[in-house]
Amino acid sequence: MQAFEYIPATTVKEAIAILAREGEQARVLSGGTDLIVQLREGRRKVRAVIDIKQIPEVNELSYDPATGLQIGAAVPCYRIYGSPAIAAAYPGLIDAVSLIGGVQIQGRATLGGNLCNSSPAADSIPALIAHQASALVMGENGERRIPIEEFCIAPGRTQLQRGEILLSIHIPPVSPYSGGAYLRFIPRNEMDIAVVGVGAWVALDQSGTTITAARIALGAVAPTPLYVPESGAGLIGKLVSSETVAEAATIAQAAARPITDMRGSAQQRSHLVGVLTRRALHIALKRAGYKSA
């Protein structure tokens, strides 16, 4: 690859200053599992990489049942699923985090990087959207918070402006009678990029039979991960049943805009959106406490 400078930043301020100065010529390095491959294959060219792994704030991983889950931009996947409390509270997120690559990828890859890389097929993003996560971004003009569903604007491009850096991702506290799930379809059993991914999250009423909230997001069927509000909205107030779930799946299918590429055909993907939405919803419902008769 073309030569670049390696800059280990120690503060957020330092990182922001370099990003502001270099613009597209610099790229943040956290896990490196996407960036290093892109640089090596010539798909990205930069003058400098800014290693943020020494910056304390972006390495913080904290969970408080009252305030929710905060994942620093440089926290690798293995730390997230390695926390029993987080795994118990957010199984739907863990579904995704433990699917990115394989064990050795998860030793380096970060959720922040997965988000900022903005691949249409990223595994974590539909799960984050379903869990109503938001990104905390810092720039020269201060902080701002961006809902994950708005974060990615095109393959490889995000809302981050020049001089901005992702600090952390926040997932709201677990509401009672709620549950999430992420399912993806791949041809093998691991190591593949998602052909289709679906993140689903539901909340039930106290009786556990009626849906009070639902969020569904799709991966690999549009230029960016796709939040399908109408699919979740259609579930609100409905009694849980196979028909309700199937309806939500059909709505999700209609929203998908899949292409045919070497990983799958458009027809196959469209079909899989329906199948996986149904299955993900069933898991989410079960986790939310729904007990089928």
Q: Which of 68, 72, 92, 101 binds another protein (CB under 8 A)?
A: 101
Location of structure tokens 């930043």:
9
Residues 39-78 binding another protein (CB under 8 A) are 39-41, 49, 51, 53, 76, 78
142 binds another protein (CB under 8 A): no
Looking at residue 8, the DSSP 8-state letter turns out to be: E
Strand segments (E) across 37-173: 48-51, 61-64, 68-72, 134-139, 142-147, 152-154, 157-158, 165-171
263 binds another protein (CB under 8 A): yes
- When the beta carbons of 99 and 202 are compared against another protein, the nearer one is 99
Phi-psi region of 32 (alpha: psi -120 to 50; beta: other; left: phi over 0): left
193 binds another protein (CB under 8 A): yes
Q: What are 66's two structure tokens?
A: 């009252």
Calculate Rg over the CA atoms of the chain.
19
Supply the minimum distance, in Å, between the C-beta of residue 206 and another protein. 30
Tally: H helices and E strands in the chain: 12, 14
Q: Which of 16, 18, 22, 33 binds another protein (CB under 8 A)?
A: 33
Q: Which of 24, 143, 190, 243 binds another protein (CB under 8 A)?
A: 190
- When the beta carbons of 170 and 282 are compared against another protein, the nearer one is 282
- When the beta carbons of 191 and 236 are compared against another protein, the nearer one is 191
Phi-psi region of 55 (alpha: psi -120 to 50; beta: other; left: phi over 0): beta
Q: Which residues contact 1 (CB under 8 A, 6 or more apart)?
A: 39, 40, 42
155 binds another protein (CB under 8 A): no
Q: Which of 84, 145, 188, 292 binds another protein (CB under 8 A)?
A: 188
Q: Which of 141, 142, 262, 293 binds another protein (CB under 8 A)?
A: 262
271 binds another protein (CB under 8 A): yes
Stretch that binds another protein, among 16-24, 134-142, 188-196, 238-246 (CB under 8 A): 188-196
Vertex 70 angle, CA 287 and 83, to 5°: 60
